[in-house]
C-alpha cells in the first residue's frame, strides 16, 4: 500500500504517528480474505471500522508505554540526544495533553472535541441553518467556546481539513466512532494476548496484528460494522472502554482520577 504523509522538521513525531495511523488502514485492506477480491465484500466494511484500525495502531499500540520505550531507544541510537532524558519522558511526550488548533495533531483526550465541532457545523450546513459564507465565523466561535482560545488564522481553523472541499460530508464522525471501536477491540485484545506489552516493548506488534487480522480485518465486508466489532470484542460496542482507557492512561500520567467519570 502506498502511504502519503507530510514531514515537519520541527516535529518528527507528527510524521511518525501519521505513518503508523495510515499503516492501520493499509493493514486492514491487505488482510481481507483474498476470496472476497473483486466482490462487494472485498473492502473495509465502513470508515468507522477502518478508523478503528488506524486509531488503534496509532494510539493504543503506537503510544503505548512499551512501544514508546522501544521507539525512544531507536531514535536515540539513530539521532543521539533528542531532548528527552529517558523512555518514561518519551512516553509522556508522545501522550502530552496540549493546546492546539490541528485535529490530526490533537492528543487523545481532546481529539473527539474536534470531531464534535465539525459534526455540529456540518449538520447545520446540510440542514440549511448555516450559510457557507458564515462558516468561518461559526467555526471560530465554536472553537473558542470549546477549547478556550481563539483561532489565529484560517489555515488553523476551517481550512485545515480537505474533507468538505472534496465532498466528504459525513466522514468526520467516523473518527470518533473509530476511537470508540478501537477501545472496545483493545480491551479484548489485551485479554486474549497477555504477551502484548512485552512484544511491543521489543518493537514487535505481531500479537496485535495477528489478532486484528483474525478478529476484524479478514472479514472485509462480510458483517455489518457494529457486528464485526461486537464479534471481535465480545459485546456490543459502547463508549465505556474508551473512557476507561483514557482514565487509566492519562490519570496515571497527570496524577488525576475520576476526571472522566
Q: How many helices (H) and strands (E) does the chain have?
A: 11, 0
Share of the chain residues as helix, strand and coil, in percent rounded to the nearest 5: 65, 0, 35
C-alpha cell at 30: 491487505
Q: What are phi and psi of 220, to 5 degrees?
A: 50, -125
- Cell numbers 495477528 correspond to what residue? 210
**153 SS3 class:** coil
Q: Confirm if 99 and 113 have CB atoms less than 8 A apart.
A: no
| Cα–Cα dist 148/166, whole Å | 29
C-alpha cell at 112: 473527539
Residue among 17, 67, 33 nearest 208 (CA): 67
| Cα–Cα dist 239/88, whole Å | 28
Active site residues: 22
Amino acid at each position: 500500500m502506498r502511504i502519503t504523509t507530510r514531514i515537519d522538521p520541527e516535529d518528527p513525531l507528527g510524521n511518525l504517528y501519521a505513518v503508523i495511523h495510515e499503516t492501520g488502514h493499509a493493514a486492514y485492506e491487505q488482510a481481507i480474505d483474498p476470496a472476497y477480491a473483486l466482490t462487494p465484500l472485498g473492502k473495509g466494511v465502513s470508515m468507522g471500522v477502518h478508523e478503528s484500525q488506524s486509531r488503534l495502531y496509532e494510539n493504543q499500540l503506537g503510544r503505548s508505554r512499551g512501544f514508546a520505550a522501544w521507539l525512544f531507544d531507536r531514535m536515540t541510537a539513530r539521532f543521539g540526544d533528542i531532548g528527552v532524558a529517558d523512555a518514561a519522558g518519551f512516553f509522556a511526550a508522545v501522550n502530552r495533553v496540549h493546546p492546539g488548533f490541528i485535529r490530526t495533531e490533537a492528543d487523545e483526550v481532546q481529539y473527539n472535541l474536534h470531531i464534535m465541532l465539525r459534526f455540529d457545523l456540518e449538520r447545520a450546513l446540510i440542514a440549511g441553518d448555516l450559510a457557507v459564507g458564515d462558516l468561518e465565523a461559526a467555526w471560530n466561535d465554536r472553537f473558542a467556546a470549546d477549547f478556550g482560545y481563539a483561532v489565529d488564522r484560517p489555515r488553523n481553523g476551517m481550512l485545515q481539513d480537505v474533507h468538505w472541499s472534496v465532498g466528504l460530508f459525513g466522514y468526520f464522525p467516523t473518527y470518533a466512532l473509530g476511537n470508540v471501536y478501537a477501545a472496545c477491540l483493545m480491551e479484548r485484545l489485551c485479554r486474549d494476548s497477555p504477551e502484548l506489552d512485552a512484544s511491543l516493548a521489543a518493537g514487535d506488534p505481531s500479537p496485535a496484528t495477528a489478532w486484528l487480522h483474525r478478529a476484524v480485518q479478514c472479514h472485509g465486508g462480510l458483517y455489518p460494522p457494529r457486528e464485526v466489532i461486537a464479534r471481535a470484542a465480545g459485546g456490543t460496542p459502547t463508549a465505556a472502554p474508551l473512557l476507561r482507557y483514557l482514565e487509566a492512561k492519562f490519570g496515571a500520567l497527570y496524577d488525576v482520577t475520576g476526571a472522566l467519570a
